[in-house]
Structure 1
């Protein structure tokens, strides 16, 4: 980092867990030229192969080792239940100079774990973003833009590491917010983990009465969207934060009981409804990008003759106009290209057509 510069470029970055969030962080670093070389660490060879094919990472590793000592930035993006085991497996190989962070949705446990391991420069973090569609194929640098990214330092977190992490988050287009780990877990229990359990309860009611499913329209689907997330990961998330979540459930139960009482008092119910509308309308709208939308599709290209020609033919026969083609990566076993398409609707159509022909694709944004 040069004197007076506000931008820090990392030589080697290790992303442990190449899924939706880990892949999005990797793409954010790549798109904003914040990393020269990105290594993906994942137990799934399939996830690594897909990440390589789509140009999300430059190198794949299935286990920790001495290679980690070259990493200037390490991002733990594994499911929350796997964070502590991953921390223990990485710790012996980490450089004392490396900046270390995680993206888990529960902070108290991982903060204690890293302190016990004696790892320096660890700054616990949680980007408040995501999607019900998981996997690296759905990763996007735009997922991080304008998102609140909570940092939960402890008394042992070096101020220099915290400052570097804040700067990195800003460079990725997100907004850093700092608070203690236990405060984060209590707040997230209410605004994230409680809505998940409420969604489960509502969907279970529908599952047990077929008549309800006939009437479950757009509003119900919007309210229960988070129930579509990965069941195992969601289960682990709420279990890891069960103490704070129990408190939130008790508060929620009291709110429901109060609303039940207002059914006999129309004026009080109207006041409650007005407060709810006012609160909901005043919630900030997160705009994922201030730039004009890009209608881009990234396609993994096998190392076979005339693949670009085959791809353009498939889309041309479907009357999908390709406005731009960019080669993103060339590798021993294939590469990746970016297709700039004319309309947003063309991206979904093109992805479906190419996947039918055996190609791997990723929306880029």
Structure 2
């Protein structure tokens, strides 16, 4: 007989939550679950007894386990928080023991591979995720729930992701104080190649220049420090991250080389270089994280859907095929007879075009706000 997940207490989202991999991010998730009362108990799973002892002593988790087993059947939330290279093996080790009703998510920085792996393993309640948060200081001893607050947390459902699972994952992210953003796995990987993985390689290149001339280190000031901050991260974890996403990263590197070559040419054209500098300032100053407005304004549509597989996929395929870019997806309701999802579009024109396409495809659509 399949064990039922532990019932959640009043006000909690989950009964038993398991965080598999109790490092900086996993530990921060566990602390958030405990401090916000989102689970009745939080179990830390890790191969390192030293990590487990620290996690228990620091109050990061309620209980610890050193390996998977039938005890996992009690969990109704499982968070895979191992380093990138270990995520696949961890998923394969846990999959035979999971309760089919448990929500499973991860915190890896590359999504396409782990999404495909969990689908292959038959874990149907899986919603890939990536909290855009971190620190140069790793490990459970530096974990803190506040690390996740106000962070963008990307959720990357596949075509097979049930609406109910996405809704539960979104509720978890919001309850932890983060801001969920929904997009396909490959779209996520293409974007982070430019905004996360490329800056890491650029910071390595700059630090290598300094390492080869000790005079440079004497003159390295605040700007150099800020540009190379990410080089202070865990080398092995960072290596695994960029290697896992190497195809999109190679494309981003090509675009970056083109930009550097253009700027090099403009050293002999001061007015063109000034225009480039002004464009750079406008772009940097307009970033949501710089303006302290976490997410830009969206234009919303609400789409009625049936509660069956591939409804999200049908909507995204219809719009993607027509070149309409969805900026956000939210599950508003899930009922036995169907549900509703909110689509965030970038412009009013995008919203109008999306409504026309989806209505033509047989969906019921209405505007919102």
Same fold by TM-score greater than 0.5: yes
1:105 aligns with 2:109: yes
Matched residues in 2 for 1:183 and 1:10: separation?
30
Matched with 1:65 is 69
Instruction: Report how far residue 288 of structure 1 moved.
Output: 12
- TM-score normalised over the length of structure 1: 0.76
Report the counterpart of residue 270 of structure 1 in structure 2.
274
Output aligned runs, 1:163-202, within 5 Å. 163-202=167-206
Where do residues 147-166 of structure 1 align in structure 2 (5 Å cutoff)?
147-166=151-170
Please give the secondary structure, in 1, of the residue aligned with 2:181. Answer: strand
Name the SS for the 2:59 alignment partner: coil
> Normalized against structure 2, the TM-score is what?
0.75
Aligned to 2:21: 17
User: Could you tell me whether the CA contact under 8 Å between 1:12 and 1:71 is conserved in 2?
Assistant: yes
Shift in CA distance, 285/39, structure 1 to aligned 2, threshold 3 Å: same
Number of aligned positions between the proteins: 286
State the alpha-carbon separation in 1 of the partners of residues 83 and 246 from structure 2.
Answer: 16
Which ranges of 4 or more aligned residues in structure 1 deviate by more than 6 Å?
Answer: 286-289
In 1: Cα distance, 2:13 partner to 2:132 partner: 24
Alignment of 1:11-90 (within 5 A): 11-90=15-94
Pairs within 5 Å for 1:248-327 = 248-285=252-289
CA contact (8 A) 1:17 1:41 kept: yes
Shift of 1:51: 0.5
The Cα shift of 1:9 comes to: 2.3
| Structure 2 residues without counterparts, runs of 5 or longer | 1-9, 295-369
- Structure 1 unaligned residues grouped into runs of 5+: 1-5, 290-365
User: Aligned equivalents of 1:62 and 1:53: distance in 2?
Assistant: 16
Q: Per-residue deviation at 1:285?
A: 2.9
Q: Is the 8 A contact 1:14 1:74 kept in 2?
A: yes
Aligned-residue RMSD, C-alpha: 1.8
Deviations 1:254-306 (A, max 9, x none): 000000010010000000001111111111237799xxxxxxxxxxxxxxxxx
Q: What is the SS of the residue equivalent to 1:176?
A: strand
Q: Distance in 2 between matches of 1:9 and 1:241?
A: 33
Bigger relative CO (Cα 8 Å, ≥ 6 apart): 1
DSSP-derived class of the 1:130 partner: coil
SS of the counterpart of 1:75?
strand
SS of the counterpart of 1:166? helix
1:7 Cα offset (Å) = 5.6
CA–CA separation in structure 1 for the residues paired with 2:281 and 2:178: 27
Contact 1:142 1:288 in 2 (8 A): no
